[in-house]
Amino acid sequence: MTSGDYFRHCNDVEIPHAPFHYKRSGLDNIYLINGFEEECDEDGERYVSVLEVDDLHKAIGVHLVMYRKTLAPKEIRFLRKTLNLTQSEMGRLIDQSAQQIARWEKGESNISGPADRLLRLMFVGSLMRGQEEPVAPMEFLTKLDEVDSSEGERLEFKKVGKEWLETA
């Protein structure tokens, strides 16, 4: 699957270069080293097409749930959308109202500790579907106490074969 971000008219000289600031995720700090192509449509509009968007979003989500001490509002929304859940569906799963989910995503209130951990577990669990070794919830929750990545830190991802990886 690909996703396009319109860039410039095809006659313009400016061409996107790495790292490409990937704004379509809804997060402000995502940059791609590769895995994107510049294309022109039949109307002469130039846009950037990102390869394997679903896999990229999973890689971004893994960073958020494994390395962020506190999830920012945009990150909560990103995880929910990557899980393909509405605010109402997510609320039902974690015993919150759709309005409460909206407040977290708008930054009007902070996500509670238990809800934060449930969201992280839901995301990690969604990645483990069909795998032989399921994630051990107790180990995952223990690891969360050690994370220290902060909001706004620039994150770069590169495509290696068919997989998106975070650059070190």
Question: Is the Cβ–Cβ distance between 129 and 49 less than 8 Å?
Answer: no
Q: What is the pLDDT of residues 56-78, one digit of tens each?
A: 999 999 999 988 888 999 999 99
Q: Which residue has the higher pLDDT, 144 or 2?
A: 144
* 101 pLDDT above the threshold of 90: yes
- Alpha carbon distances (Å) from 143 to 75, 88, 97, 157: 19, 29, 28, 23
Residue 13 has pLDDT above 50, yes or no: no
Predicted confidence (pLDDT) at residue 2 exceeds the cutoff of 80: no
Its pTM stands at 0.77
Give per-residue pLDDT as tens, 125-139.
Answer: 888 765 555 566 657
In angstroms and rounded to an integer, the radius of gyration of the C-alpha atoms of the chain is 17
Per the CB < 8 A criterion, the answer to whether 155 and 149 are in contact is no
Distance (Å) of CA 147 to CA 3, 7, 38, 83, 131: 31, 36, 36, 22, 25
Per-residue pLDDT at 1: 43
Cis peptide before 19 (omega within 30 of 0): yes
